[in-house]
């Protein structure tokens, strides 16, 4: 669609200001692409540019009744609205990123305790040692259920044993591993 002449913009603006939605649609179609590219240039994101373009025309619709068109086109006026909307969007995005970063930072420890690392490493070594001492079927049950996340019945089918065998053996393995973990904590 070609850019409207100044008389077309003035006439459409006057009609749209009095509530003519068809005239406003014509303004929209005549100026949506340049408004979009202004928003995209500021924001650098197609999705945000689309949102800001829509917000620009919503604001324009509300402000048209009080508009005193200066110049030949509505585009400078729409571009100004677009720049304000894009600036608002940037502020929101920056605030959200800052808040998200703050929220993430709150979940991260301020420092890493060397003692906790040593305990964790010692615990992992002790559990690996204890699992290595299990008989073959218990190792396979532990691996399927605790490592691979199999349900008892699925592990039983994989191993060719009953659900009860898996449940009982895994319970004994867990008790044994809890004892090993207590040894490390108490050491």
Q: Across residues 3-17, what is the average pLDDT?
A: 79
- 2 pLDDT above the threshold of 70: no
- 166 pLDDT above the threshold of 90: yes
**How many helices (H) and strands (E) are present in the chain, helices listed first?**
8, 0
State the pTM of this model: 0.52
Greater confidence, 104 or 6?
6
In this structure, are 162 and 80 located in the same domain? no
141 alpha-carbon distance from chain centroid: 37
SS3 149: coil
Considering its fold, how many domains does the chain have in total?
2
In this structure, are 149 and 72 located in the same domain? no
Say if 12 falls within a structural domain. yes
* The pLDDT value given to residue 112: 42
Q: Across residues 87-93, what is the average pLDDT?
A: 86
In this structure, are 102 and 120 located in the same domain? no
In this structure, are 85 and 170 located in the same domain? no
Say if 1 falls within a structural domain. no
Q: Across residues 59-83, what is the average pLDDT?
A: 85
CA distance 173 to 86: 60
Token digits of residue 133: 């001492």
Question: Which domain CATH number covers 129?
Answer: 1.10.10.10
SS3 162: coil
* The pLDDT value given to residue 103: 53
At which of 107, 124, 158 does a domain end?
A: 107
CA distance 38 to 89: 13
At which of 107, 140, 170 does a domain end?
A: 107
In this structure, are 48 and 129 located in the same domain? no
10 alpha-carbon distance from chain centroid: 43
Q: In which residue are the tokens 């240039």 written? A: 41
Q: What are phi and psi of 70, to 5 degrees?
A: -110, 130
In this structure, are 22 and 97 located in the same domain? yes
User: If you ran DSSP here, which 8-state letter would residue 70 be given?
Assistant: -
Say if 178 falls within a structural domain. yes
At which of 107, 141, 176 does a domain end?
A: 107
Cβ pair 139, 169 in contact under 8 A: no
In this structure, are 64 and 80 located in the same domain? yes
- 109 pLDDT above the threshold of 80: no
In this structure, are 24 and 84 located in the same domain? yes
Average pLDDT, whole number, for the chain? 81
In this structure, are 56 and 143 located in the same domain? no
> What does R_g of the chain's alpha carbons equal in angstroms?
33
* The pLDDT value given to residue 162: 94
Token digits of residue 85: 């909307």
CA distance 186 to 177: 14
Q: Which of 25, 51, 53 is nearest to 37 (CA)?
A: 53
Token digits of residue 47: 């999705």
Give the domain extent around 41: 6-107
């Amino acid at each position: 669609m070609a850019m409207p002449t100044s008389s077309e913009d003035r006439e459409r603006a006057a009609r749209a200001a009095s509530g003519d939605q068809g005239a406003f649609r014509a303004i929209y179609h005549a100026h949506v692409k340049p408004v979009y590219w202004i928003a995209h240039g500021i924001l650098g994101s197609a999705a945000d540019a689309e949102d800001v373009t829509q917000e620009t025309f919503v604001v324009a619709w509300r402000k048209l009744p009080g508009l005193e068109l200066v110049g030949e086109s509505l585009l400078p006026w729409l571009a100004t609205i677009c720049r304000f909307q894009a600036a608002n969007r940037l502020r929101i995005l920056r605030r959200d990123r800052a808040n998200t970063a703050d929220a993430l930072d709150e979940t991260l420890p301020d420092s890493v305790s060397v003692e906790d690392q040593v305990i964790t490493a010692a615990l992992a070594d002790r559990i690996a040692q204890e699992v290595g001492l299990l008989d073959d079927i218990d190792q396979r049950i532990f691996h399927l259920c605790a490592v691979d996340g199999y349900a008892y019945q699925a592990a039983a089918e994989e191993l060719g044993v009953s659900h009860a065998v898996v449940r009982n053996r895994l319970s004994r393995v867990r008790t044994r591993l809890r004892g090993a973990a207590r040894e490390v904590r108490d050491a």
